[in-house]
Amino acid sequence: MKHLYGFMINLQFFTMIPIPVEIRMDDDHLKKAVKTFALLGLFQGFIYSLTIFILFYWTPLSNFAIAFILWLVMILLTGGIHLDGWMDASDAYFSYSSIEKRLEIMKDPRTGAFGVVSVIVLLGAKFLFIYEIVSGITLTSYLLIIILPFLSKGLMGLLLMTVPLAKEEGLAYHFRKAGDSSMRLVYSVYWIGITGLVSLIDFGTLFPIMIMFIVVMVCFILLRSKTVKWFGGITGDVLGASVEGVELMLWMTIWLLHYSVMV
């Protein structure tokens, strides 16, 4: 039951889905929330694929319209929480200031020019990849889209638990304080289990999923060192920006796999 409460905390914090249940934000529940980050991503991926399937087979909409609706659903489902982190982190990074100044910039509720430009580029590129994937959609594509946020949310959990905190306050601090070293094992079990299940449905997904996993691991290695160098460690905004950046890389990976006739 506590794992269910942890999952519901994630829905309350990271989605716009109304959860009319009051859950205590104690360490035990937050610990379960961190353990179910990847399951939240799997849930989101299922919604994304289901949206494409329904629109593709049950409506007369064009591929362009379907891609736009999915693009919009992705923003609305999360309430733009990770996009906010992307903009704040972009403003801070492109200020080319000290770590202390960058942390101050991320706390500022105002959005600067770099944040606006960076989110336009991010959303524009994401729409391009989604549109071209939808235009050549296959069973493998549907399964990879389900896996995509599963991997990005897993990366968020790994970064949270393995990278030093930039400050001892905020949402990232409270989630980190509740976590423990068992998270890596939990995420490994998720990875093996979900990969095996998806491969049983369509064995052709195994190789593309391995490529996506390699992309995520490369991003993890880079982010683990760069976040400390650029921001002094992890914050909620940095985690949000990491999720958005990695998801963009994964959308691009699926797009490239379409062009290589692997999907």
For 251, residues 6+ apart whose C-beta sits below 8 A from its C-beta are 126, 129, 130, 133, 148
Q: pLDDT at position 98, please?
A: 87
Q: How confident is the model at residue 262 (pLDDT cuts 50, 70, 90)?
A: low
What confidence category does residue 97 fall into, taking pLDDT thresholds of 50, 70 and 90? confident
pLDDT in tens, 138-148: 999 999 999 99
The overall average pLDDT reported for the chain is 88
Q: Looking at the DSSP assignment, which residues form a beta bridge with residue 234?
A: 165
Query: In the chain, which residue ranges form alpha helices assigned H by DSSP?
Result: 2-14, 27-35, 37-58, 63-78, 81-93, 99-107, 113-135, 139-162, 171-178, 183-201, 206-231, 236-259
Residue ranges covered by each domain of the chain: 2-14+26-259
pLDDT tens, residue by residue, 183-214 = 777 777 888 888 888 888 887 888 999 999 99
Residue of higher predicted confidence among 257 and 109: 257
Q: What is the pLDDT of residue 143?
A: 94
Give CA–CA dist 87/110, Å, rounded.
10
Report pLDDT for 54.
96
Is residue 2 over pLDDT 60?
no
CB neighbourhood size of 200 (10 A): 10
Looking at per-residue pLDDT, the higher value among 123 and 169 belongs to 123
Q: Which pLDDT value is given to residue 257? A: 93
- What is the mean predicted confidence (pLDDT) over 240-255? 96
Residue 245, CA distances (Å) to 2, 89, 251 in order: 31, 11, 10
Contact, 88 vs 105, CB < 8 A? yes
Separation of alpha carbons 155 and 176, rounded Å: 14
Across the range 236-253, mean pLDDT stands at 95
Task: Using the predicted structure, report yes or no on whether residue 242 has a pLDDT greater than 80.
Answer: yes
* Phi, then psi, of 181 in degrees rounded to 5: -70, -15
Q: Vertex 19, ends 16 and 25: CA angle to 5°?
A: 100
The model's pTM: 0.93
Across the range 50-73, mean pLDDT stands at 96
Q: In angstroms, what is the C-alpha Rg of the chain?
A: 18
Chain segment 159-190, per-residue pLDDT in tens: 988 888 888 777 777 777 766 667 777 777 88
pLDDT tens figures, 211-235 = 999 999 999 999 998 999 999 988 9
Q: What is the pLDDT of residue 5?
A: 76
Is residue 56 predicted with pLDDT exceeding 60?
yes
* Structure confidence at residue 87 (pLDDT): 95
**8-37 pLDDT per residue, tens:** 888 888 888 888 877 777 777 777 888 888
